[in-house]
Amino acid sequence: QIVVLGSANMDLVTRQPRLPEPGETMAGTGFATGAGGKGLNQAVAARRAGADVVFIGAVGDDGFGRELRGFLEAEGVAADRLATSDEPTGIAQVSVLDGGENSIVIVAGANGESALADGDAAAIAEASALVVQLERPLPLVEKGLSAARAAGVRTVLTPAPVDPAAALLLPLADILVPNESEALALSGETDVEAAARVLSATAGTVIVTLGARGSLIARGGEIVSRVEARRVEAVDTTGAGDTFVGVLVAWIVDAAELDDAVRAATAAAAIAVTRPGAAPAMPTRAEIDAALA
């Protein structure tokens, strides 16, 4: 099974012509809530791709927390390691402006919990892979990665949102999956191939995702392959990277070769970008298999 240690947020999405000025109250044109957070999204992507998934996270003792727990359970993600914190459930307040640009405020709330709960390390030690991102405190991510390393469990790190201090975690990552801007920021390089080479000298395998340009795989300081993206009509690329990672790991724990896992992840992400939303847009195993056939 795959253990995802990460964030769960309630996304609060308003549509509006522009951002209000300080002190201004303005009318929006639409509102929706949805389950989100990079951890939850990657867990759902892996689960829909057919993997057994355990989610380690924290929500508040509030309505949003109960909704997120119910969402994970309805997807078939094991939520018995989802803690209930004294802090409120994390939220992402997303303002979608006319013209399509997003402005986002994240309040970590319960996601700020930096201790592993009793039993979390044991759950990680029993996993086939541990999947982490950086929407939880770095010390917590480090504890999770160290617990996995100590048990010989494969580790997959998405360095997002990017934090220069995360360079410390690279030696603990068997697979590092940054997007282009994260790869540049983490490596200090200005060229993405140089970034992939540099990062792969410290982390294990590095897969840099390049949006509609596909992805680049590096290992041991060298570029080893490239995978083209699929040509699709993208309507919403939110969660493309999370779909990619979840499906990649689902294939890897199923003993797939890395290149085959990247091709499956690429096919799945291409489906996700043709539909609105992040987690709701993620494809099922049958849809991924059909796209690969």
Q: 3-class secondary structure for 27-51?
A: CCCEEEEEEECHHHHHHHHHHHCCC
Nearer to ligand ADP by Cβ, of 14 and 237: the residue is 237
CB of 126 to ligand ADP, least distance (A): 28
- DSSP label at residue 90: E
Q: Tell whether 40 is in a known binding site.
A: yes
**Which residue's Cβ lies closest to ligand ADP?**
241
Burial 132-142 (b: 16+ CB within 10 A, else e): bbbbbeeebbb
Q: What is the C-alpha separation between 144 and 142, in angstroms, rounded?
A: 5
* Conformation bin of residue 109: beta by default, left when phi > 0, alpha when psi is -120 to 50: left
Q: What is the C-alpha separation between 175 and 115, in angstroms, rounded?
A: 24
CB of 175 to ligand ADP, least distance (A): 14
Selected range binding ligand ADP among 4-12, 71-79, 104-112, 265-273, rule: CB under 6 A: 265-273
Length of the chain: 293
Does 269 contact ligand ADP by CB under 6 A? yes
Identify whether 242 is a catalytic site residue.
yes
In the range 218-257, which residues lie near ligand ADP by CB under 6 A? 229-230, 232, 234, 237, 240-241, 244
Nearer to ligand ADP by Cβ, of 38 and 81: the residue is 38
In the range 183-212, which residues lie near ligand ADP by CB under 6 A? 209-212
Q: At 96, is the secondary structure helix, strand, or coil? A: strand
Q: Which residues are catalytic?
A: 242
Footprint of ligand ADP on this chain (CB under 6 A)?
179, 209-212, 214-215, 229-230, 232, 234, 237, 240-241, 244, 266, 269-270, 273
